[in-house]
Amino acid sequence: MLGAAAQAPGKHWAENAHCSGQDVEVFVPLVDGPRQDPEHVRKTHGVALNRPLNFCAACPLAVSARCLVESLKHDDEFGIRAGLLASERLELRAKWQERRDSHAVAAALHGATTALTDSERQEVIARFACDPTLNSAAVARALGVTHKHLLKLASRSRLRLVPAMHSSDSSGAA
């Protein structure tokens, strides 16, 4: 999926989507949400969903893949994206938040602003906290926080490491 999404590069990828220029309301059915049963939504509102789902089905694979990746990156809870209802993306969203992209983490450590999952963000902070050679201004910029706030986050991260180190030392002493 990520490989296919890469085939629709740049910030203007959505211009190639078949939904481009359409009424956004069509793609946000009020009957669907992240906690709905997708089978029930499709069964009870299938006809109303045909139009937006047909737009998605007609999209090029690269655009559809990019649409899904972007919705996962931005944790979109509502709306039809890449031919999937919000309720159908719930499990994908949870898995996406658990994943760690080492390239995104490395980029953030070097100052690149990129969408990070909570897990990736925590890894950036933990690595910054343990590596005094990293440029704090660049990491703060990448995380979208002030320098002062980054130092607080790093301090908290180091405090979490201390109990973990002590518990592993005591388990080995027994």
129 & 64 share domain: no
pLDDT tens digits, one per residue of 14-60: 888 888 888 988 899 888 888 889 999 989 988 889 999 999 999 99
110 & 93 share domain: no
Q: Does 116 fall in a domain?
A: yes
The interaxial angle of helices 61-73 and 86-98, nearest 10 deg, is 70
Q: Does 173 fall in a domain?
A: no
Number of domains in the chain: 2
**Average pLDDT in the 52-70 region?**
91
Domain holding 110, by residue range, is 102-167
62 & 129 share domain: no
Q: Is 84:64 a contact under the CB 8 Å cutoff? A: no
Answer yes or no: is pLDDT of 10 > 50.
yes
Q: How far is it, in rounded angstroms, from Cα 118 to Cα 111?
A: 17
Last residue of a domain, one of 46, 63, 98: 98
Q: How far is it, in rounded angstroms, from Cα 161 to Cα 171?
A: 16
Sign of the torsion angle spanned by Cα atoms 103, 105, 107, 110: negative
Q: Does 172 fall in a domain?
A: no
Last residue of a domain, one of 64, 82, 98: 98
12 or 158, which is more confident: 158
The whole-number pLDDT of residue 118 equals: 82
Q: Is 65:12 a contact under the CB 8 Å cutoff? A: no
33 & 69 share domain: yes
**This prediction's pTM:** 0.63
pLDDT tens digits, one per residue of 82-114: 999 999 999 898 888 888 889 999 999 999 988
Q: How would you class 125 by CB atoms within 10 Å of its CB: exposed for 0-12, middle for 13-18, buried for 19 or more?
A: buried
Q: Does 174 fall in a domain?
A: no
9 & 72 share domain: yes
Choose the weakest-confidence range: 73-77, 84-88, 138-142, 152-156: 73-77
Share the mean pLDDT of the chain: 86
The whole-number pLDDT of residue 36 equals: 87
Answer yes or no: is pLDDT of 167 > 60.
no
146 & 94 share domain: no
31 & 113 share domain: no
Give the pLDDT band of residue 174 (cuts 50, 70, 90): very low
